[in-house]
Amino acid sequence: ETIIGNWFASRLNRDKIILASKITGPGLAWVRGGDSVINKKNILLAVEGSLKRLQTDYIDLYQLHWPNRGSYHFGQIWGFSPKFDAQAEEDNFLEVLHTMQMLIQEGKIRHIGLSNETAWGVTKWLQLAEKNNLPRIASIQNEYSLLCRHFEPDLSEIAIHEDCGLLAWSPLARGMLSGKYLKGARPEGARITIETRPEHRVLAKTDAAIKQYVELAAHYQIDACQMALSFVHNQPFVSATLIGATNMAQLKSNIDSLTLSLPEEILVEIDNVRREYPMLY
């Protein structure tokens, strides 16, 4: 945020940018001394900190990074056990919504969104907002890619029919869908190469699926990354695709994927690969 804030200050272009930020959920000891439950106190602290670092007086979209009760994202799907006090959770949702309403009225944020949520969570947020005349959830930022398609059976109906679109994170599965990590390759400077934490996506079955996707793209003379990105951002429930690049060539390729429309025969073959390798992680 500090880097982006300095960029705003040097370019004087804040009004031309749609700016989004987040408050993290529990689990990170270095955030606010370990007190990272999403509640009124921490939201106010987090928003003020973000505004200061970003050198702005408002945030267009403010999101909850993950639920207090946990999430099936980040490789947790196999051990996800949603045991929680539903009434206490609803009480917290209302506290958060009232806090967000106050911040919207103060002009500090404009819209609110969720991230790494479940169908129950999104539905409950929408119901409580409508029932209590509180700010409505505008978006859901969950992982979605050729390798990770949990959103389709879990949340796509809600996204479409409740006008709460997906902001798809990791549409290239941390760069894996480029094929650059196949056969154990670790290119210098690449994300998985330099990160020290375990990568739950690196599996033999994942490599097998990626190999087929890369070969499919090559058969149709399409860049593998562009095929993967086009698949994501052309889904009817997707509002935006979150891209990342470490150089200008990657950035240009990512942006160019917006004009790529995959023909039906490629979509059929993509679905065939998915049927062979469902629920990879």
In a shared domain, residues 36 and 102: yes
- Residue 70: give the domain boundaries: 1-141
Q: How far apart are CA 141 and CA 234, in angstroms?
A: 16
Q: What pLDDT is stored for residue 35 in this prediction?
A: 86
pLDDT-derived band at 5 (thresholds 50, 70, 90) equals very high
In a shared domain, residues 80 and 188: no
In a shared domain, residues 6 and 131: yes
Q: What pLDDT is stored for residue 160 in this prediction?
A: 98
118, 141, 164 - which closes a domain: 141
Residue 66 lies in a domain: yes
Q: What pLDDT is stored for residue 43 in this prediction?
A: 98
In a shared domain, residues 187 and 255: yes
Residue 231 lies in a domain: yes
Question: 77 vs 95, which has greater pLDDT?
Answer: 95
CATH number of the domain bearing residue 80: 3.20.20.100
In a shared domain, residues 130 and 216: no
Here the contacts of 238-242 (C-beta below 8 Å, separation 24 or greater) are 238/144, 238/165, 238/166, 238/168, 239/139, 239/165, 239/166, 239/167, 240/165, 240/167, 240/168, 241/167, 241/168, 241/171, 242/141, 242/167, 242/168, 242/169, 242/170, 242/171
Residue 192 lies in a domain: yes
Mean per-residue pLDDT for 117-121? 96
In a shared domain, residues 107 and 2: yes
Q: What is the pLDDT of residues 7-49, one digit of tens each?
A: 999 999 999 999 999 999 998 888 888 888 999 999 999 999 9
In a shared domain, residues 5 and 60: yes
Q: What pLDDT is stored for residue 149 in this prediction?
A: 96
Evaluated on CA atoms 93, 68, 153, 269, the torsion sign reads: positive
Residue 162 lies in a domain: no
In a shared domain, residues 1 and 113: yes
Hey, what's the torsion of the CAs at 30, 32, 36, 41, to 10 degrees? 180
Q: What pLDDT is stored for residue 60 in this prediction?
A: 99
In a shared domain, residues 122 and 183: no
Residue 159 lies in a domain: no
Residue 153 lies in a domain: no
Q: How many domains does the chain have?
A: 2
In a shared domain, residues 7 and 49: yes
- The reply to whether the predicted model has a pTM over 0.75 is yes
Q: What is the pLDDT of residues 197-246, one digit of tens each?
A: 767 888 889 999 999 999 999 999 999 999 999 999 999 999 999 999 98
